[in-house]
């Protein structure tokens, strides 16, 4: 009798556990979703938000965009409030690492400026361009972009791949939480997150957490690895990764040919959890970059 009751209790526990497991798998619990948190409140304050939209994939000239985006000031900035650092508003820096992807950049800017304007954020778009012939180093470009943008007292930093176009403007680029993985659902992966650890693509960080993980690694040349390294930095510091829900954190990935893959990346990734302490912002040495004010963005020209 006692044995039968115990079996019953055990199966109830098992049943509950499996239900939770299924829910967890589909991202309903424990997934640090900011469900409804900013989105609905935000929708009230910003009546111009539209939710889902079809990105405009035409390549529009910078001149035409500059005329159309009347709110954007020289250097690619917009301020909804009188620019006063002490006012406590979130000041967002969008950092886009770049080299020879002119069309992608134009498509992104054409969608991003109206998107950010609808969110009524104080923002500046920075394009961090690698202008030497060395292999591409996204992590280092991000670190340099961060250090340069920080001089303008931003409070939130969005690290943004040039080929990811947002599809829903409830996906707030304002560091509601940090670190926040914004590109959770990408068309290329059938709008599903392939792995809970992922932070690559588009992510938003406040200064405190970003400096705690010592920024990005400077050691990943060519394509790949720097984002996995960041996942390990986050884990080593026991930070959660926050995300909006699947239906909101949606992106379209622009097509391009595969860049040269970093074949050493798996080897370098082995000691990420220790190496992060001395490889990153703390070890960053760089030639002071040339900084230019374009109509739609601030251009940071980097030689590595």
The two three-digit tokens of residue 174, written as one number: 């304002």
Residue closer to Mn ion by CB (options 55, 240) is 55
Residue closer to Mn ion by CB (options 11, 263) is 263
Residue closer to Mn ion by CB (options 94, 175) is 94
CB of 164 to Mn ion, least distance (A): 8
CB of 188 to Mn ion, least distance (A): 9
Q: How do strand 77-78 and strand 290-293 relate by DSSP bridges?
A: unpaired
Which span (109-117, 143-151, 159-167, 284-292) binds Mn ion, by CB under 5 A? 159-167
Which residue of 163, 169, 228, 279 would you call a contact of Mn ion, by CB under 5 A?
163
What number of other Cβ atoms are within 10 A of residue 166's Cβ? Answer: 24
Rounded CA gap, 172 and 193, in Å? 18
Residue closer to Mn ion by CB (options 108, 296) is 108
Q: Which residue is nearest to Mn ion (CB)?
A: 163
Q: What is the DSSP letter of 168?
A: B
Q: Which residues of 24-47 are buried (b: 16+ CB within 10 A; e: fewer)?
A: eeebeeebebbeeebbeebeeebe
191: left (phi over 0), alpha (psi -120 to 50) or beta: left
61, 73 contact by CB (below 8 A): no
Which span (4-12, 73-81, 124-132, 162-170) binds Mn ion, by CB under 5 A? 162-170
Rounded CA gap, 128 and 297, in Å? 10
Residue closer to Mn ion by CB (options 122, 226) is 226
CB of 182 to Mn ion, least distance (A): 15
Is residue 226 at the binding interface for Mn ion, with CB under 5 A as the rule?
Answer: no
CB of 165 to Mn ion, least distance (A): 12
292, 151 contact by CB (below 8 A): no
CB of 112 to Mn ion, least distance (A): 16
The set of residues, in sequence order, having a beta carbon less than 8 Å from that of 283 and lying 6+ positions away, is: 218
Residue matched to tokens 């620019």: 83
Measuring CA to CA, which residue among 23, 279, 8 is closest to residue 137?
Answer: 279
Which span (20-28, 161-169, 200-208, 264-272) binds Mn ion, by CB under 5 A? 161-169
Residue closer to Mn ion by CB (options 101, 233) is 101
Binding site for Mn ion (CB under 5 A): 163
């Amino acid at each position: 009798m006692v044995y039968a009751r115990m079996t019953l209790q055990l199966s109830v526990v098992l049943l509950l556990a499996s239900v939770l497991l299924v829910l967890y798998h589909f991202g309903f619990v424990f997934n640090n979703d900011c469900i409804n948190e900013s989105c609905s409140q935000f929708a009230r304050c910003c009546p111009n938000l539209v939710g889902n939209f079809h990105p405009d994939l035409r390549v529009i000239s910078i001149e035409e965009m500059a005329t159309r985006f009347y709110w954007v000031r020289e250097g690619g900035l917009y301020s909804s409030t009188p620019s006063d650092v002490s006012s406590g508003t979130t000041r967002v820096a969008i950092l886009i690492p770049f080299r020879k992807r002119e069309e992608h950049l134009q498509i992104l800017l054409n969608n991003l400026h109206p998107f950010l304007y609808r969110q009524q954020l104080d923002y500046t778009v920075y394009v961090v361009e690698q202008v030497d012939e060395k292999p591409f180093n996204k992590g280092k470009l991000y670190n340099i972009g961060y250090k340069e943008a920080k001089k303008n007292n931003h409070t939130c930093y969005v690290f943004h791949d040039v080929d990811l176009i947002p599809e829903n403007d409830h996906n707030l680029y304002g560091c509601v939480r940090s670190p926040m993985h914004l590109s959770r659902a990408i068309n290329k992966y059938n709008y599903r997150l392939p792995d809970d650890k992922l932070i690559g693509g588009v992510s938003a960080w406040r200064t405190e957490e970003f400096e705690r993980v010592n920024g990005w690694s400077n050691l990943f040349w060519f394509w790949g690895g720097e984002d996995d390294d960041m996942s390990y930095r986050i884990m080593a510091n026991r930070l959660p990764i926050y995300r909006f829900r699947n239906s909101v954190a949606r992106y379209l990935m622009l097509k391009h040919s595969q860049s040269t893959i970093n074949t050493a990346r798996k080897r370098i990734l082995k000691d990420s959890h220790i190496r992060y302490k001395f490889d990153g912002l703390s070890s960053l040495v760089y030639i002071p970059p040339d900084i230019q004010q374009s109509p739609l963005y601030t251009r940071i020209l980097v030689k590595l």
